[in-house]
């Protein structure tokens, strides 16, 4: 399907694709943090404003980082190799089809980063708590995200997966820290869990591109490892995710409820293991990863909200 370059609607959609704004996993950690807040704060005007600002922070910084990722991939030819005709062509890359220029993409990324940083600054200003360590860690996470494939090009030197994990966990941790002034074991486990789920999805996506990534010097984990190493990597991630889920269930106020809610997630992960590790159908495994993330986050959020409602 082609997009009319001169169409305002077409260009708007192209910018949505450039910033991957349809990928809601970028900001869902913030509502998960909100589900763990004290009920009075969560339902107050200040709490709702903090939630909205946290979402805007996550969306702005993530969109900027992903737009810059496409800028770098277009300039060095990696995206044309991995996503051009004949290979993952269904993945929309508006810089490749000429809908958006490199200059416009950079301006878009700068604007998104400005929105994200402004929202973060405002969130800190209105927050009930301003722990210096949470602010410092969050700013460090923003720095890592914006350097994912631009400036320091962390994803090209083997740190892309670490950035993905840290950024996803921080989307939950920074609003929780600003709201409560601390990071409890329950909040930490849930943040690490959604980080691992997102990392599983990202590594399957990187498996799809591992040949091209290796050719162009982008050192993702799959691009550097033989198949046995890739299989061990995925097995380790499943083991970590399973252990964290058990900890989350143990830490929930109603463990039986979270265990029950987690059953669809576990069934989906079984399918993901079969598709990704047995059949090496990485595209399907990646798609199932998004489902795992959403099912898992929904299970955690519902369990948290039940505790908030009756607590």
CATH code (residue 291):
1.20.120
Q: How confident is the model at residue 84 (pLDDT cuts 50, 70, 90)?
A: confident
> 183: which 2 tokens?
């990071």
CB 288 within 8 Å of CB 271: yes
In 45-112, DSSP assigns E strands to none
Instruction: List, for residues 204-247, the tens digit of each pLDDT value.
Output: 999 999 999 999 999 999 999 999 999 999 999 999 999 999 99
Q: Are residues 176 and 216 located together in one domain of the fold?
A: no
Sign of CA dihedral 183, 185, 186, 190: positive
91 DSSP assignment = S
- Give me the sign of the Cα torsion angle 210, 85, 278, 248: positive
Residue 307 predicted with pLDDT over 50: yes
Domain final position from 119, 150, 183: 183
**For residue 186, pLDDT beyond 90:** yes
Distance CA 254, CA 256 (A): 5
Query: What single string gives the DSSP state of each residue in 141-165?
Result: HHHHHHTSSSTT-GGGTT-HHHHHH
Mark whether 137 and 234 lie in a shared domain.
no
Boundaries of domain holding 228: 184-311
Domain end position, chosen among 183, 207, 222: 183
Per-residue confidence (pLDDT) for residue 164, from 0 to 100: 97
The answer on pLDDT for 5 being more than 60 is: no
Question: Which is more confidently placed, 88 or 276?
Answer: 276
pLDDT of residue 87: 56
Same domain, 192 and 177: no
pTM of the model: 0.94
- For residue 74, pLDDT over 90 is answered with yes
Give pLDDT, residue 7.
72
For residues 275 and 293, what is the distance between their CA atoms, to the nearest angstrom? 17
In the block, which residue shows the tokens 């980063």?
Answer: 113
pLDDT level of residue 3 (50, 70, 90 thresholds): very low
Q: Which of 183, 210, 231 is the last residue of a domain?
A: 183
pLDDT-based confidence at 89, cuts 50/70/90? very low
Which H or E run includes 242? helix 227-251
Q: For the purposes of burial, counting CB atoms within 10 Å of the CB of 133, is it exposed (0-12), middle (13-18) or buried (19 or more)?
A: exposed
């Amino acid at each position: 399907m082609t997009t009319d370059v001169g169409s305002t609607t077409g260009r708007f959609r192209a910018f949505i694709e450039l910033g991957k704004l349809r990928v809601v996993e970028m900001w869902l950690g913030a509502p998960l943090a909100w589900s763990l807040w004290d009920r009075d704060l969560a339902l107050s005007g200040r709490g709702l404003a903090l939630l909205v600002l946290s979402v805007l922070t996550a969306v702005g910084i993530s969109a900027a980082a992903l737009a810059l990722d496409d800028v770098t991939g277009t300039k060095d030819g990696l995206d044309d190799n991995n996503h051009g005709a004949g290979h993952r062509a269904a993945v929309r890359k508006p810089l490749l089809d000429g809908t958006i220029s490199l200059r416009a993409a950079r301006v878009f990324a700068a604007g998104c980063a400005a929105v994200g940083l402004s929202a973060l600054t405002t969130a800190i200003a209105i927050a009930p708590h301003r722990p210096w360590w949470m602010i410092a860690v969050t700013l460090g996470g923003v720095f890592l995200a914006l350097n994912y494939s631009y400036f320091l090009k962390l994803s090209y030197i083997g740190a892309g997966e670490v950035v993905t994990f840290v950024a996803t966990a921080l989307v939950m941790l920074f609003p929780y820290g600003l709201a409560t002034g601390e990071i409890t074991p329950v909040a930490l486990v849930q943040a690490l869990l959604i980080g691992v789920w997102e990392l599983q999805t990202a590594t399957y996506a990187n498996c799809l591109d591992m040949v091209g990534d290796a050719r162009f010097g982008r050192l993702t984990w799959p691009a550097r490892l033989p198949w046995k190493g890739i299989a061990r990597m995925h097995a380790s991630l499943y083991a970590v995710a399973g252990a964290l889920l058990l900890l989350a269930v143990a830490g929930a106020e109603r463990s039986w409820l979270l265990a029950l809610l987690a059953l669809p997630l576990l069934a989906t992960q079984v399918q993901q293991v079969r598709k990704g590790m047995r059949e090496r159908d990485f595209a399907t495994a990646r798609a199932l990863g998004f489902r795992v993330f959403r099912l898992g986050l929904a299970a955690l959020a519902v369990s948290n909200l039940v505790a908030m409602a009756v607590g």
